[in-house]
């Protein structure tokens, strides 16, 4: 069989199921669970998306590519969901955005779902606002560790970092060289409060990881499934479907732009 390049719209084999999460404060959240097609997963990613008031959602491009590729390429399960009040093509979650406060129930519901589904080796994969959710609400006994993409450290506090430091749980921050909110040198200073934290500066990258999603996925797989071969393949010699990404373009790029967003005192962050 002729190998086919893996593109942004490529969907590799896997079991993908629409799911619903139910929060302790009574909300229904929409999501999806993607699993390997022919074997049990060796690890699980619970994805926490960027700021919904500025275009973030479960389908933000890095998470979409993770769900479409990693079950086949790295034997990982990928759980994505829309936090309260967030919409995507999958649907709209009940409730309304609460600036990282009531979202604690959303994070808990996702972790509980992964536990109930007996998914192994649960890691949080937060992006931008999602990194604040991971730091504030994700240091759960069921969680192995967290990987933070473009952490702005806007809603997180020193107390949140101290909680992770005490836990000893793995914590990795992937920080773009040209991030709009927190760049590698400052990130290393801030994360020094967590002795086990690893800060990885990514040359040339920006907050949105446009053009750098493959780098992100390689770094994620290195940590969650060290037995997998990285860098991940860029071609696939099996069956492949093609997804429609046109419905996402305005929300994953233009909605963020590269314009810094004021901090929570002035109305939100990325």
Q: Return d(Cα 33, Cα 21) in angstroms, integer.
A: 11
Domains and CATH numbers, the chain: 17-227 (3.40.50.1820)
Q: Return d(Cα 149, Cα 220) in angstroms, integer.
A: 10
What would the pLDDT profile of 157-206 be if each residue is shown by its tens digit? 999 999 999 999 999 999 999 999 999 999 999 999 999 999 999 999 99
Supply the Cα-derived Rg of the chain in whole angstroms.
Answer: 17
What would the pLDDT profile of 14-49 be if each residue is shown by its tens digit? 999 999 999 999 999 999 999 999 999 999 999 999
Instruction: Give me the pLDDT at residue 253, please.
Output: 46
- Supply the pTM of this predicted model: 0.92
pLDDT of 251 over the 60 cut:
no
Q: How many helices (H) and strands (E) does the chain have?
A: 7, 14
Q: Two tokens at 46?
A: 């619970």
Q: Return d(Cα 112, Cα 28) in angstroms, integer.
A: 14
């Amino acid at each position: 069989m002729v190998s086919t390049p893996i593109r942004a719209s490529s969907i590799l084999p896997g079991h993908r199921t629409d799911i619903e999460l139910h929060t302790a404060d009574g909300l229904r959240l929409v999501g999806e669970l993607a699993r390997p097609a022919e074997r049990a997963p060796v690890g699980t990613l619970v994805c926490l998306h960027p700021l919904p008031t500025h275009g973030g959602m479960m389908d933000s491009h890095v998470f979409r590519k993770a769900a479409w590729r990693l079950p086949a390429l790295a034997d990982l399960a990928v759980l994505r969901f829309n936090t309260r009040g967030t919409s995507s093509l999958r649907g709209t979650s009940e409730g309304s955005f609460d600036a990282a406060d009531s979202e604690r129930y959303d994070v808990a519901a996702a972790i509980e779902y992964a536990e109930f589904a007996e998914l192994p080796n649960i890691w949080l994969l937060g992006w931008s606002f999602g990194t604040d959710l991971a730091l504030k609400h994700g240091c759960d006994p069921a969680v192995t560790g967290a990987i933070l993409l473009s952490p702005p450290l806007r809603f997180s506090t020193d107390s949140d970092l101290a909680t992770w430091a005490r836990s000893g749980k793995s914590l990795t921050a992937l920080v773009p060289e040209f991030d709009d909110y927190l760049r590698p040198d400052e990130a290393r200073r801030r994360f020094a409060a967590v002795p086990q934290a690893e800060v990885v500066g990514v040359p040339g990258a920006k907050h949105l990881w446009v053009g750098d999603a493959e780098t992100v996925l390689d770094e994620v797989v290195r940590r969650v499934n060290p037995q997998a071969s990285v860098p991940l393949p860029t071609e696939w010699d099996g069956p492949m479907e093609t997804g429609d990404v046109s419905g996402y373009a305005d929300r994953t790029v233009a909605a963020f732009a590269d314009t810094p967003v004021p901090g929570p005192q002035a109305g939100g962050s990325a």
